[in-house]
Structure 1
Amino acid sequence: MKNLTRILVPVDSSAGADRAVTLAASLAQATGAVLDVLHVSYFDADTDDEQESWLPASIAGPVGRVGQEALERARKYVPASVTAVYHRRTGIPAEEILGFAAEKQAGLIVIGCRGLGVVEGFLLGSVSQEIVERATVSVVVAR
């Protein structure tokens, strides 16, 4: 593996994401890599181009708050000795994660899993599965 300088860890306030942040922070600490913590939401108040958002405040407000809470939750698992940068994006999670990884030239993606069985994972789909299949860099799935 080439010199690891950036590690991407997507977060969503789940236990799987907590495990992923813990592992990614440990790897960043050991390698001196920058840790990019990313939360992706499907939509927010700025999703459309209208003067007024088509999303009611009761939805757009909580989405923004949920994203901020996901990043704050992740901060608890990152030691002060690790250089971490926190990001938010809007869009289809797998697409945004892969695009972000390419943009920042991440050398590794560490992602949590939901712990679904084979049938449930197939029926419901899985962001982590799509990342594993489509990423152009190494991917570690934290269980």
Structure 2
Amino acid sequence: MLFSKILVAYDGSNLSKKALEKAVRLVQEQTGDQQAPELEIIHVFHYPTVIGDAYAVNAKEAYLEGAQLTLKGAKALIPDSLKVKYVLQNGDPAHEVLNYAKQNQVDLIIMGSRGLGAIRELFLGSVSHNIVQQSNIPVMVVK
């Protein structure tokens, strides 16, 4: 068995869908082994900083509903034959993915790459770049 636990960082983008498809293929290829790898899908969303109590409550509800719909989209891409754990986290995406992977003994992270553009990435950094740079485990970035 190559991997025992695979974590897919999923945000609903086309590249994260490709990453999820790759993870599913990896799990299916190893299904004949005595112990197929576990597949976990994490979606991290971040509440915006807002001013005003009424708006903040409505915004949080809307972001949570959007995040739940994103995970529902991931579930639709998974064959019924696979057992998958779905995780929804709030916070900084790179930090939350790395923290989850560490706490749950994940041995591979799979995620899509992002084309933010050179200037934007210089100032903000991309989630995939941050995870690749900070991870202590292998990271597969799908293009």
TM bucket (normalised to shorter chain) is 0.7 to 0.9
Residue 117 (structure 1) shift: 4.1
- Residues 15-24 or 117-126, more deviating: 117-126
Alignment CA distance shift 1:54-1:92 (3 Å): farther
For 1:31-58, what per-residue CA distance to the aligned partner results, in whole angstroms no more than 9, with x for missing partners? 22111100112238xxxxxxxx786232
Is 1:43 aligned with 2:42? no
> Secondary structure of 2:101's match?
helix
Aligned to 2:116: 116
Q: Which runs of 5+ in 2 are unaligned?
A: 31-35
Percentage identity across paired residues of the two chains: 31
> Secondary structure of 2:123's match?
helix
Q: Considering only aligned residues, what root-mean-square deviation do their CA atoms show, in Å?
A: 2.0
CA distance, structure 2, for counterparts of residue 125 and residue 54 of structure 1: 32
Number of residue pairs aligned between Structure 1 and Structure 2: 134
The one-letter code sitting in structure 2 at the alignment partner of 1:86 is: Y
Q: Which runs of 5+ in 1 are unaligned?
A: 45-52
Superposed structure 1 runs of 4+ greater than 3 Å apart: 116-120
Contact 1:25 1:78 in 2 (8 A): yes
Q: What is the TM-score normalised by the length of structure 2? A: 0.84
CA distance, structure 2, for counterparts of residue 26 and residue 55 of structure 1: 42
Q: What is the TM-score normalised by the length of structure 1? A: 0.84
